[in-house]
Amino acid sequence: MKQHRWIVAWAGAALLALGLSAAAPRAAGAQEEAPGAAPDEDARRQEAQRDAAEGRKLLKLQRGADAIPLLERAYLVLEDPELLRLLGEAWLIAGDTARALALWDAYLDDPQVGDSAKELLRARRAEIAPRPAGDGDGDGEDDDTLGLSDWSSGGAERGQAGRWVLLLAGGLVYNVGASYEVAIPARAGGAATRATGDYTHGGVGARLGGGIWATDALRLTLSVGNTWMSWETQAPVTPFSTATYAGLRPELWLDAGYRFGGGVSVEVGLGGDAVLLTDVPDGVAEGLYGYRALTGLGVRYAAPLAGPLDIEAALGVRVAPFLHEAQPLPPGFTDLSWVLALEVGVTWSIGP
């Protein structure tokens, strides 16, 4: 019995020794394989960098379709957001604008990208299709609607400091009614009296201007315009009688507008205009009647239209604190009252 137990113990020891000897090579092999993982990763990154370099060369040759697979493989390994921008360029060259815009939007939303780099791409993107304000998913749809679908975005974005703006607008002008007094000579057996009359006038006009974004929110605009005016003056001496005048108002105007979010701007401005009568009642001379100084406040709303174009609507109040008469004006023609102006126009942003 003792001999049987001794044989069993000897067999167990032999099996244990065989197990240890087999495990030792495997452990040594694992230790030898571990260092090999880092060289494999380095090789993948080096290959990805070669793909990225080759993709850049193909982009310079305007071979977007050939560059796309190289840049995609490189991005999957390197995860460099700059490759998203390059992929957008490649897809644009290949003719897929929607995918290009989607990749650019992903680049703009990446927190690793600096603000200056984003500003450059925003300007590039705006030349193709404005990005809706507040849109963070970059759906990149084609601009088949000329940008009118972007009206729901809350208005145009702010400008970019240093960009120039061209403005073409038309609108309506209405002068808030003013009153005046005239002397009525004394008649036989009576005394001289004074009568009160009033006048209203309005017109349509056009304006052409140019400006610059001094900052991303502040736009300065200098414009020239003209309003084709019609005045109707009530004659207090003869009841229910009116006199009608027509003329021009050439204008020079400088305004500064600060754009808040949602495309809304508040403006202040100053300038001057001239009053020229071209169609007058009998006994009244035509020609230049005076110069005015103007100042005013306004509110403007802008929405993206297509590419670098915005459509804008403005409502302003102006007053003429000073009028120099070149020749005596008809009664009530002092024109120092408040003027309401409604304007609709298109702006075109140009520049880097």
Q: What is the 3-state secondary structure (H, E, C) of 219-265?
A: EEEEEEEEEEEEEEEEECCCCCEEEEEEEEEEEEEEEEEEECHHHEE
pLDDT level of residue 49 (50, 70, 90 thresholds): very high
Q: What is the pLDDT of residues 154-163, one digit of tens each?
A: 466 666 788 8
Q: Is residue 113 over pLDDT 80?
A: yes
Q: What is the pLDDT of residues 146-155, one digit of tens each?
A: 333 333 344 6
Distance CA 117, CA 336 (A): 51
Domain with residues 164-350, CATH architecture: Beta Barrel (2.40)
pLDDT level of residue 2 (50, 70, 90 thresholds): very low
Least-confidence region, from 90-99, 170-179, 292-301: 170-179
Q: Where are the domains of the chain?
A: 36-144, 164-350
The pair of three-digit structure tokens given for residue 169, joined into one six-digit string: 């607008």
Q: Given the DSSP bridges, would you call strands 309-325 and 264-279 parallel, antiparallel or unpaired?
A: unpaired
Percent of the residues in the chain that have a pLDDT greater than 90, as a whole number = 28
Look-up of token digits 């088949």? 144
The pair of three-digit structure tokens given for residue 56, joined into one six-digit string: 């850049």
Query: What is the rounded average pLDDT for all residues in the chain?
Result: 76
Least-confidence region, from 89-98, 104-113, 115-124, 131-140: 131-140
Which of residues 240 and 83 earns the better pLDDT score? 83
pLDDT level of residue 297 (50, 70, 90 thresholds): very high
pLDDT level of residue 219 (50, 70, 90 thresholds): very high
Which residues in 177-197 are b (16+ Cβ under 10 Å) and which e? Answer: ebebeeeeeeeeeeeeeeeeb
CB contact at 8 A, 245 and 189: no
- Reported as type and span, the H/E element at residue 311 is strand 309-325
Please tell me the predicted confidence (pLDDT) of residue 3.
46
Q: What does each C-alpha distance from 186 to 37, 126, 132, 180 come to in angstroms?
A: 114, 72, 71, 19
Q: Is residue 140 over pLDDT 50?
A: no
Burial of 242 (0-12, 13-18, 19+ CB in 10 A): middle
Least-confidence region, from 27-31, 52-56, 122-126, 205-209: 27-31
- Reported as type and span, the H/E element at residue 305 is strand 287-306
Q: What is the pLDDT of residues 233-286, one digit of tens each?
A: 655 544 445 667 788 889 999 999 999 878 899 999 999 888 888 887 777 778
Please tell me the predicted confidence (pLDDT) of residue 135.
53
Match domain 36-144 to its CATH number in 1.25.40, 1.10.3470, 3.80.30, 3.40.50. 1.25.40
Please tell me the predicted confidence (pLDDT) of residue 223.
95
Look-up of token digits 């939303």? 109
Distance CA 154, CA 151 (A): 6
The pair of three-digit structure tokens given for residue 162, joined into one six-digit string: 């240093």
Computed on alpha carbons and rounded to an integer, the radius of gyration of the chain in Å comes to: 39
pTM over 0.75: no
